[in-house]
Amino acid sequence: MPDATNGPTRLLLVRHGESTSNRQKVISGWSTDVVLTELGRLQAAQTGEALRLIESIDALFASPLPRAWETATIIGDAIGMTPVSVDDLREINVGTATGSPLTDLRSLFPSLLDRHESGLHIAWPEGESHAQLRERALRAVETIVAGHLGKTVVAVAHGGPLAWIVTMLASGDEATYEQWRHSNCAISELLVEIGPDGLDANLIRFNDCAHLNEE
């Protein structure tokens, strides 16, 4: 366990359970109409049981979007905590593309799917860019860690922000973004400190789904 005063913060990242948009294979962005499926609620309950085995969890944070908030609420019921809403943990705002089939994105928005620096600053129509998502996801982590030095915290969010958090803290190479995408209700674990040059982290586990049993 991290030292309560001087050690790193143990950050447990959880992607939300399967959502209606995951099942329909459409991009959901900031949609408030997207909720968990029955499977998604089962995944959230199993994740809560897995996290309940951890000796001490000091705080639970979540994106306020319904699919993540419901996941966090189910987890919170298992570990005896109420989630705290963090706007910066929301998924990327894809603007007018919200609800578009995933199979259409490559043809409709090819430049927006470029994860190299040249494409990161292109915003979705009436939405935001991946550079903006990356900045606010890291800001969320820094704020959470700064308020919970040496503690163990859980953050429930979405595929986009979680991938950027792990990309920048474990790799530092924007081009590896797609390698750090999380499955529904997967858990990743990092030990994070705030150093003179910003966040410093060690990746302990990534995309752990061993606790999920969908039968």
What digits encode the pLDDT tens for the residues 162-185?
Answer: 999 999 999 888 889 989 999 999
Predicted confidence (pLDDT) at residue 39 exceeds the cutoff of 50? yes
User: Mean pLDDT across the stretch 23-35?
Assistant: 97
CA distance 90 to 144: 15
Of 95, 120, 115, 114, the C-alpha closest to 27 is 95
pLDDT exceeds 80 at position 74? yes
Average pLDDT over residues 116-128: 84
Which parts of the chain are beta strand (E)? 9-15, 59-62, 84-85, 152-157, 187-195, 198-208
Residue 156: strand, helix, or coil:
strand
What is the overall mean pLDDT for the chain? 93
- 113 or 135, greater pLDDT: 135
* Rounded Cα–Cα distance for residues 190 and 161 (Å): 15
pLDDT at residue 4, rounded to an integer? 46
What is the pLDDT, as a whole number, of residue 115? 59
Q: Which of 34, 60, 68 is nearest to 160 (CA)?
A: 68
pTM > 0.85:
yes
pLDDT in tens, 46-73: 999 999 999 899 999 999 999 999 999 9
Name the band, by pLDDT with cuts 50, 70 and 90, for residue 114. low
Contact 106, 140 (CB under 8 A): no
Q: How far apart are CA 207 and CA 184, in angstroms?
A: 9
